[in-house]
Amino acid sequence: MDKLELRYGCNPHQAPAYLAHPNRLPLTVLNGQPGYINLLDALNGWQLVRELKLALGLPAAASFKHVSPAGTAVSQPLSDTLRRAYFAENVELSPLATAYARARGADRVSSFGDWAALSEVVDVPTAQLLRREVSDGVIAPGYEPEALALLRQKQGGSYRVIQIDPDYEPPETETRDVFGVTFGQRRNDGAITAVSLQNIVTANLTLPESAQRDMLIALITLKYTQSNSVCYAYDGQVIGVGAGQQSRIHCTRLAGSKADTWFLRQHPRVLSLPFREKIGRPERDNAIDQFLLDTLSPAEERYWLESFSEPPHRLTTAEKQAWLAQRSGVVLASDAFFPFRDSIDRASQSGVSYVVQPGGSVRDGVVIEACNEYGMVMACTGLRLFHH
């Protein structure tokens, strides 16, 4: 048996902890000492980006936190606006680095201290991008020597770097122990491809290639997101994930609010906020998040104002609504059927034009009718994607 000792389990008092394989572990730790949750994020993240790469043929990246992705993306060119919103104006971006900048930029507040998963051999631009972000570690199929040297300098030499065997395939059956009882099931090897999108059930049948791409990104993301889960995707990346909620509508609201924040971060007023000199990116992310809230307590207001050289002029509710009203072409995906039309109504407020879900609810007709009212296109895959 091949065995890797870990720092501890889910919590520091849960020691000893280890990772084991009956033959040979499919990964090698090149730097640092990963923990239990690090490895859960790493192995889920690797499966996600590997599947995205297979489905779309593009470099893929994921930003994982607590066994759910905060963001995922494939490599698509960044506009000047997105470069500014992602704090990537003056950095070199390779295709892989672009994918990670997008994945990290989906929800930069949630990505603080993330685990990065990358589908390609890590090059220097990607290593430089990782090195400047607050991140716990990275998993990839390989590293250029200079890129590895850069990452080994991060966090005083303790940054966790894992190399995964890209040819490794797990057995068909997977098991886990809970409370001394062993569960077993067939691994979720259900394929998500363009064929999955062929059953369009709405009056509007027009599904452009860009929407198909974003549907695949959203569905593959949900496959590795703690359920219940819903996500919004746009322009080759996820822009809002609602994970681990007990009701579908709460997933939709949570993911929708994150998608709204993603769009609002590109507002000219946000891009030109008067930050004081030498304030770090995490502090800027938190300040932007608070800038976009409707109300702040007096204590929050005092803390928030410390980030700026002068008090910024807040966006009014009307200004936010006017900016968000410009959106369209967003994809909404769900890991299980929509039991009511409420999620469709909420999604319409966030620029959703395309919906993909398994279908199979006794109220499918009501949900289809709601999509038709908004002129949305909806595909039903017949494939539930619960992940626990």
* 70 φψ region: left (φ > 0), alpha (ψ -120 to 50), beta (else): alpha
Which member of 154, 228, 267, 387 is catalytic? 228
Tell me the β-bridge partners of 62. 72, 117
CA distance 242 to 261: 13
CA atoms within 13 Å, Cβ hemisphere of 266: 18
Copy the structure tokens of residue 330: 């967003």
Cα–Cα distance list, 33 to 20, 39, 64, 88, 132 (Å): 15, 10, 18, 29, 20
Helix/strand/coil for 250? helix
Cβ count within 10 A of residue 173? 9
Which member of 21, 66, 250, 320 is catalytic? 66
Active site residue 65: yes
> What b/e readout covers 113-142, taking b as 16+ CB neighbours within 10 angstroms?
ebbbbbbbebbbbbbbbbeebebbbbbbbe
Active site residue 223: no
Cβ pair 161, 148 in contact under 8 A: yes
Which member of 31, 38, 44, 65 is catalytic? 65
The number of angstroms, rounded, from the C-alpha of 349 to the middle of its chain's C-alpha atoms is 21
Cβ partners under 8 Å of residue 34, min gap 6: 6, 7, 42, 137, 160, 162
CA distance 87 to 82: 8
User: Looking at the annotation, which residues are catalytic?
Assistant: 65-66, 228, 388
